[in-house]
Each structure stands twice: as C-alpha cells, then as structure tokens.
C-alpha cells in the first residue's frame, strides 16, 4: 500500500480573563489527559500550540505540566508552534504589534523548552495575504489553514495532499491545508472510519500528506467528549491504530515534511477563515439565509460542486456587525500608538493581553457576549495606557488632556478627555453620547463596556425551538439546545447603541415596560443624530457643549426642538457635571417625558453585593438584574461591593428613576443562554413646556472606588 504521512496539530487556548475553574476543568478534561495518552504512544507525533495565556496559567497553577511537555519534546513527540503571545487575530492588531507578539512568544518557548519554533498557529485560522511579510520577519517558516481557504482559491480538494508555497513581495511562506474530512471526523466518528479516510487516499496517491489542525478542547472539554475520548477510550484506540498501521500510515512533524518533501506548487489564498467563521461574520439576517442556502445546495448533486466557491463573509466585518467590537479594537490601536517601541515588556504585555481575540467576535462560543471577557480586555488596555502615560506626564495633578479625533473611523470626530483618574469619551455625532468611561489609577475598568440587543441568525432557531419544545443536540456548530425555557420572551432588539447621556423625548403614555423592550414611541430625533459641539478649556477643567436643533415627530405635524447639553470634566477628579437646556421652538405648548439614559456594565447583575440605592443613607432599592421605578429622587446610584465601585448621582431638582437590566440571548458551546449585559438607568421627568419656553435640568455624577 502507498504510504500516507499524517501531520497532527493541536491548539489549546483560553481567553484572557476567563474563570480559573473553567480553565482548571479544561486542564483536567483535555490538556493533561491528551498528553498523558500521547506519552504512552511513542510513535505518535503532534504539532503542539498553547496560547501564552495558558502557559502563564500553567506556570501559576500546574508547573508540572511544563515537565510533561519537555519530556515529549525530548522524545520527539511534540513540535511546538509559536503564535501571537496573547492569541490576537493578526488583522485586528496594528502592524507594530504583530511581529512583537510573535517574537515574545518565540522567545518564551526558546527560554522554557530550549527549542525555536518554526511554525505558527494562526488564531482562528484567520488568513490575509498581507500576513506573509510579518510572519517571515518573525522567523516563521510555515503555518496551516483550512482546506476551505484553498478551495476558495480554486484549488481542488483532490490536490491537497501536500503543502504549498505562498509569497508576498518575494517573501515566501510554506502553508499546509487542513483536511476537512479529518477535522469533522476526529474525534466524533469511530476510529475505524477515520482510518478508512487514510486508506482511501493511500489507494489512489503515493506519499500523500494529510493534515489535521484543530482545537485541543474538542478532546475532552467540548460537551460529551471527555466521556467518549477518554472514558470510552477513543483517543487511546486512535493512537494505537496509528501505531498498528505504521508500515503505511506514518506520523511526521511539519518541519520533517519541509525537509524531506517538495511543495506541491505555489498558491495565493484569499482572505478567509474556516467555513463556520465566515458564516458568523455575515449580518444576522444573511447568516440565517446563507445557512439555509448552503443546506439546500447540499441536496443537489449538480450544485454541490460549487459550494467551495460560496465563501460567506469577511472576518473584519465583525467590526461592522458589532460596533462594540470596533470600539474596543480602536481602543487597542489607540493605546498601541501611545506606547513607544522602547517601552518595557510589562507595559507591552498589558497591551497585548487587551488584544486577545475572544471578545472581539461571536460564533458558537459566547465571545463578545460574555461581559467578563470584554471587561478583562478593557482592564489590560486601560492599565497599559495608564502605565505609558505615567512615563510621559510629569505633573500628575495637572494631568488633563483633550483629544479630538476620529477615534472609531466612522468619518466623525470624537472627544477624548483624560485625567489622572479616569477617561471620558464622547461622540457628538451619535447623540452627544458618552461611549466610554474608564476608571484608572487604582482600578482599571470601563463602566460603559455595554452591548445592545441585536438580532442574531440563530435567534430564528431559538423561536423554532420554543415552538417545537425541542432541546435535542446535534453538533457544536448546529446546536439547538436551550439552557432555560422561555428564551424567546427575551428576544428584544435595540434600535440604538446602549451608551450613556442619551436624550429621550417620549410620549406621555410611555411606561417602563415598553421602554425596556425598545417598543416605546420616541418623539425626538436626538438619540443617535449629530450634535454640533465645541470644547472650551477652563483653569482646571474642560467644558464640552453640544447642541442639536431637531424635531419632535408627531402624527400630524413636526415641532422644532432644541437640546443643549454641557459636560464639565475636571483635572485630578472623578466628578462630572451635566447641564441640560431644553427649548420648545414651536408656537404650541407640549407635554412629554424627558429622559437622560445611562447604561453601566458591572459584569454581573444578580450578586447581592451589587445594587441600586437612593438617598444619603444609600437605601437599597433593587439588584442590578431587577426592573422598577422610583419617583421624586434627588440622589441615587449604584453600589458594587464586589468590584469596589460606586456611581453616585446628585440632581438639582427631584426626578424619577427607571431601571432595568439589558439581557441578551446568545449562543455558547452549551446551547442558547440568557446573559446579563448591563443595567439601564433613565433619569426622567414629565414636563409641560410652553411655546418658546426653556427648561433646565442639572445633575452631576461622581465615581468612587474602595
């Protein structure tokens, strides 16, 4: 029989900020047992990648794991792969960070294990042709991407039993195709069926090279796999069968293949990732339609051939699909620009941790929808910024900076205010809203790390699931399991971004219920329309004044309306003063509800240590996961004893308070789930404004840490 060479690469990763017990569970169910089984089979060779996040965790929690890895390297069973140390999507980080992240990781591996990795694991197998010069500069010789990438370039799957050369500006890189059949079969089908895949290739080709590159968590951590892979012995059997067939089915390291086999040719791959990722990158409606379309094509033998050319979306479009992702990514880029190349590794590591890919996108895993992951990235980004600024700003008491720039690259300028204790980011073009509020110095926390409720393609499945009362599981990529009943009742969608200092003019019959569900009648055009602005410098503060001449849209006419609001931001302070001036420019009197909306993300909502309070005695009103109203308040706030944060509002005149949680229905590896994102607060008042009259509303809010 012809020989087949099997190359196997395993990638292990956990997000920055993930819970210790989650990582510990994966260690016991996947990371440790996989290598223990591997050590019992000395002929088995594996390309091995753990993200720097995991190596840091192993060092602190299971240093003995390094000994196991070292033994397997000495036995020539493991070939280590490098990567961006904190697992970034390379296209998401500035060019200046790409090579540094890879070199940092390569140096770590060389120091810890005495080997210099030549191959790289590309995060989420996201590939762009422009990566090549950066990879070669970082001394990377090879990588691997999916068969899907090659198919999109017009390379038939029949020609993917080897490796190829790609280049950019005469910088060359070897690139291996990951076999689709193997990726879907291992470890989910019987071992004999996996061996049959190799036999089919051996019968028609000589010296074929087949590659599996996939997540290590599927060997024990994915739902149900610990039982099948270890308790039922799938992995033990698989390695034994590979050894039993060693006369024709041999394992090799990637570097060995590069030394002993010629490339199959040259290839130029388009920007891509694995097929599921390209589906998730599409807009929600198109995700659902795309999935249905591909399914319908599979039922047609004539059309099935063309499936490889239907490639779905483009990874960078997650920045369009999720403005919150774009905001965080632009934050990372902004902070990177503040950090000189000569800065310490400590500062750069904080930046690099904030570039970890997981909360920048969403697919079958929670990702962006997990507040603790977003919060962790922001924590490290803010800390990196603070550390870099400390080296540049000599007088901390006079630390008061103003920057006006197009921060989020949408064609409109934003205002960035910075002092020694916090950052305040304002978007005049989006309703004069506050879109970021960072604590720094003693804590590093973005209080407006919020997300709006969005339609997702799988929400159609949530509705179908509710109608059918069906909780059966198919696969991790097509799961229709709900972690609780009644999730369809939470499918409400926001027509605006959940920022702060948003100005509502509502009809008198508006109630908290329809406001909470974004089903109220919004009369004004002030929520996400542009305000004109100017920024004035005082002795120890900046004053941002924003004004919009807009309208109230009634059924029979429009009423001209004007809102002016000022925000005062002080040096060396966490006090913010807000002043509103509301003018009825029409010739008619008008009654309405005015509200100023704030949204605060404090990671969890149901902890007893987190609650909304009122009055000088901080009387508890409700938890952050509850909804309700309180009338006639002049002081209220949020107290978070878990994080040590207090947000305190003082109003010049009594107003009403509406509060409620923003909860999303998102997808995870364990099924559909409801997730608390933030608490919405509406400071509101019923008003009667006569023709030509002006109303003033003034309040301030203060941030405290303890």
DSSP bridge partners of 250:
5
Enumerate residues 6+ apart whose C-beta is below 8 A from 305.
none
Phi, then psi, of 106 in degrees rounded to 5: -60, -40
CA distance 257 to 45: 12
**Count of helix runs (H) and strand runs (E) in the chain:** 21, 26
Query: Regarding beta strands 645-668 and 628-640, do their DSSP bridges make them parallel or antiparallel, or are they unpaired?
Result: antiparallel
CA distances for 336 relative to 305, 380, 582, angstroms: 45, 12, 40
Cβ contact 97:88 at 8 Å: yes
CA distance 461 to 481: 9
Helical spans, DSSP H, in 503-635: 512-516
Q: Of the listed 79, 87, 124, 456, which one is catalytic? A: 124
- Which residue matches tokens 């620009």? 337
Token digits for 657? 């308070």
DSSP bridge partners of 437:
424
CA distances for 358 relative to 101, 328, 647, angstroms: 16, 12, 29
Q: Which residues of 312-338 are buried (b: 16+ CB within 10 A; e: fewer)?
A: bbbbbbbbebbbbbbbbbbbbbbbbee
What is the per-residue DSSP string for 393-452? -S-GGG-EEEEEE-TTSSSS-EEEEEESSEEEEEETTTTTEEEEEEE-SS--EETT----
CA geometry: angle at 72 spanning 215 and 140, to 5°? Answer: 60
Enumerate residues 6+ apart whose C-beta is below 8 A from 650.
634, 635, 699, 700, 701, 702
Element (H, E) at 200: helix 191-204
Token digits for 56? 């840091």
Q: How many residues are there in the chain?
A: 706
Cβ contact 268:153 at 8 Å: yes
Q: Is 124 a catalytic residue?
A: yes
Q: Which residues of 276-285 are buried (b: 16+ CB within 10 A; e: fewer)?
A: bbbbbbbbbe
Cβ contact 462:672 at 8 Å: yes
- Which residue matches tokens 């996108």? 361
Nearest to 318 by CA among 264, 359, 267, 349: 359
Phi, then psi, of 553 in degrees rounded to 5: -100, 105
Enumerate residues 6+ apart whose C-beta is below 8 A from 295.
none
Q: Which residues of 79-91 are buried (b: 16+ CB within 10 A; e: fewer)?
A: bbbbbbbbbbbbb
Peptide bond before residue 396 is cis, with ω within 30 degrees of 0? no
Enumerate residues 6+ apart whose C-beta is below 8 A from 479.
364, 473, 667, 669, 671, 672
Q: Is 215 a catalytic residue?
A: yes
Q: Of the listed 24, 39, 56, 215, which one is catalytic? A: 215
Cβ contact 669:222 at 8 Å: yes
Residues known to be catalytic:
124, 215
């Amino acid at each position: 029989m012809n020989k087949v060479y099997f190359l196997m690469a395993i990638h292990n990763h956990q997000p920055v900020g993930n819970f210790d017990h989650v990582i510990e569970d994966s260690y016991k169910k996947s990371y440790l047992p996989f290598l223990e089984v591997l050590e019992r089979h000395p002929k088995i060779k594996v390309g091995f990648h753990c993200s720097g996040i995991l190596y840091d965790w192993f060092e602190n929690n299971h240093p003995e794991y390094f000994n196991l890895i070292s033994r397997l390297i000495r036995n020539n069973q493991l070939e280590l792969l490098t990567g961006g140390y904190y697992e970034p999507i390379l296209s998401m980080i500035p060019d200046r960070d790409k090579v540094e992240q890879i070199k940092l990781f390569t140096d770590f591996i060389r120091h810890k294990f005495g080997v210099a990795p030549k191959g790289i694991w590309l995060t989420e197998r996201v590939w762009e042709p422009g990566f090549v010069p950066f990879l070669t500069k970082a001394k990377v010789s090879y990588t691997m991407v999916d068969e899907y990438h090659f198919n999109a370039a017009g390379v038939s799957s029949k020609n993917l039993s080897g490796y190829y050369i790609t280049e950019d500006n005469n910088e060359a890189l070897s690139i291996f195709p990951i076999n689709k059949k193997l990726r879907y079969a291992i470890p989910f089908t019987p071992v004999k069926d996996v061996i049959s895949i190799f036999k089919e290739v051996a019968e028609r080709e000589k010296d074929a090279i087949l590659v599996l590159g996939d997540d290590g968590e599927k060997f024990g951590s994915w739902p149900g796999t610990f039982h099948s892979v270890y308790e039922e012995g799938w992995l033990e059997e698989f390695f034994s069968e590979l050894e039993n067939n060693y006369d024709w089915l041999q394992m090799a390291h990637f570097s060995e293949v590069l030394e002993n086999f010629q490339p199959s040719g040259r290839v130029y791959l388009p920007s891509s990732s694995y097929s599921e990722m390209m589906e998730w990158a599409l807009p929600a409606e198109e995700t659902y339609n795309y999935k249905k379309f591909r399914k319908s094509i599979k039922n047609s033998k004539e059309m099935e051939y063309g499936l490889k050319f239907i490639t779905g979306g483009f990874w960078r479009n997650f920045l369009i699909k999720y403005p919150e992702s774009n905001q965080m990514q632009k934050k990372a880029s902004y902070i990177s620009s503040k950090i000189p190349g000569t800065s310490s590794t400590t500062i750069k590591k904080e930046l690099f941790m904030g570039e970890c890919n997981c909360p920048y996108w969403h697919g079958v895993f929670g990702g962006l929808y997990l507040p603790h992951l977003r919060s962790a990235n922001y924590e490290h980004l803010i800390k990196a910024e603070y550390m870099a600024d400390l080296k540049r700003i000599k007088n901390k008491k006079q630390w008061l900076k103003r920057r006006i720039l197009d921060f989020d690259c949408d064609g409109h300028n934003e205002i960035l205010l910075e002092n020694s204790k916090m950052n305040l980011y304002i978007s005049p073009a989006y309703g004069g809203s506050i879109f970021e509020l960072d604590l720094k110095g003693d804590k590093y926390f973005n209080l407006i790390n919020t997300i709006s409720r969005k339609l997702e393609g799988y929400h159609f499945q949530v509705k179908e699931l509710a109608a059918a009362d069906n909780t059966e599981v198919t696969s991790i990529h097509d799961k229709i399991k709900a972690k609780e009943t009644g999730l369809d009742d939470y499918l409400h969608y926001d027509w605006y971004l959940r920022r702060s200092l948003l100005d509502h003019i509502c009809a008198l019959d508006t109630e908290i219920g329809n406001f909470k569900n974004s089903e109220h009648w919004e009369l004004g055009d002030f929520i996400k329309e542009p305000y004109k602005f100017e920024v004035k410098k005082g002795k120890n503060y900046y004053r941002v004044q924003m004004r919009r001449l807009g309208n109230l849209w009634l059924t029979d006419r429009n009423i001209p309306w004007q809102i002016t609001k000022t925000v005062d931001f002080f040096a060396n302070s966490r006090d913010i003063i807000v002043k509103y001036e509301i003018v009825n420019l029409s010739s008619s009197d008008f009654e309405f509800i005015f509200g100023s909306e704030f949204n605060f993300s404090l990671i969890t909502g149901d902890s007893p240590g987190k609650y909304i309070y009122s009055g000088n005695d901080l009387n508890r009103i409700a938890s952050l996961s509850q909804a309700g109203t309180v009338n006639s308040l002049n002081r209220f706030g949020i107290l978070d004893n878990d994080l040590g944060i207090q947000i305190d509002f003082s109003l010049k005149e009594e107003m009403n308070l509406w509060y409620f949680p923003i909860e999303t229905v998102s997808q995870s590896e364990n099924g559909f789930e409801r997730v608390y994102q933030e608490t919405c607060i509406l400071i509101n008042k019923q008003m009667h404004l006569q023709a030509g009259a002006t109303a003033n509303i003034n309040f301030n809010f203060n941030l405290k840490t303890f």
